[in-house]
Structure 1
Amino acid sequence: MAKPPLILASASAVRASLLKGAGLDFEVADSRLDEEEVKRGFAGRDDAADTDALALELAVEKAAAVSRGKPQALVIGADQILSCEGKRYDKPKSMAEARANLLAFRGRPHILHSGVALVANDAVIWSHAAQAHLTMRDFTDDFLDDYLAQAGERVLKSVGCYQLEGPGVQLFERIEGDYFTILGLPLLPLLDELRARGAVLK
Structure 2
Amino acid sequence: MQASFNPLPRPLVLASTSPYRRELLARLRLPFETVAPQVDETPHAGEAPAALARRLAAAKADAVARQRPQAIVVGSDQVADLDGVALGKPGHHARAVAQLRAMSGRTVRFHTALAVRCLDSGYAADDVAVVQVQFRALDDATIERYLLAERPYDCAGSAKSEGLGIALLDAIVSDDPTALVGLPLIRTARLLRGAGVVLP
TM-score, structure 1 as length reference: 0.89
Identity of aligned residues (%): 35
Q: CA deviation at 1:198?
A: 2.1
Structure 1 unaligned spans of 5+: none
Aligned amino acid, residue 174 of structure 1: A
**1:34 maps onto 2:23 in alignment:** no
Verify the 8 A CA contact 1:81 1:112 in the aligned structure 2: yes
Q: 1:124 offset after TM fit, Å?
A: 6.1
Indicate whether 1:44 and 2:46 are aligned: yes
Distance 1:142 1:29, change over 3 A: same
Alignment-derived partner of residue 175 in structure 1: 172
Tell me the CA shift for residue 52 of structure 1.
2.1
SS in 1 for 2:171: strand
Q: Give, as a single letter, the amino acid of the residue that structure 1 aligns with 2:163.
A: G
Q: Is the 8 A contact 2:14 2:33 kept in 1?
A: yes
With 192-201 and 128-137 compared, the bigger mean Cα shift is at 192-201
Tell me the distance in 1 between the aligned counterparts of 2:140 and 2:77.
31
Q: Is the Cα–Cα contact under 8 Å of residues 61 and 75 in structure 2 kept in the other structure? A: yes
Q: Which residue of 2 aligns with 1:80?
A: 78
Which residue is 1:131 aligned to?
130
- Aligned partners of 1:118 and 1:58: how far apart in 2? 12
Aligned to 2:110: 112
Query: Which has the larger share of helix?
Result: 1
1:60–1:124 contact (8 Å) kept in structure 2: no
- What's the CA shift for 1:196? 3.2
Structure 1 residues 24-54: Cα deviation after superposition (integer angstroms, max 9, x where no partner): 2111000011111xx22xx2243xxxx3232
Q: Within 5 A, what are the aligned runs for 1:49-68?
A: 51-68=49-66
- Per the alignment, in what secondary structure is the counterpart of residue 59 of structure 1? helix
Supply the AA of the counterpart residue of 2:18. S
CA contact (8 A) 2:112 2:128 kept: yes
How many residues end up aligned between the 2 structures?
192
- CA offset at residue 66 of structure 1? 0.7
Structure 2 unaligned residues grouped into runs of 5+: 1-5
Whole-Å Cα distance in 1 between the matches of residues 57 and 80 of structure 2? Answer: 15
Q: Distance in 2 between matches of 1:190 and 1:165?
A: 19
Which whole-Å CA distance do the structure 2 matches of 1:81 and 1:45 have between them? 12
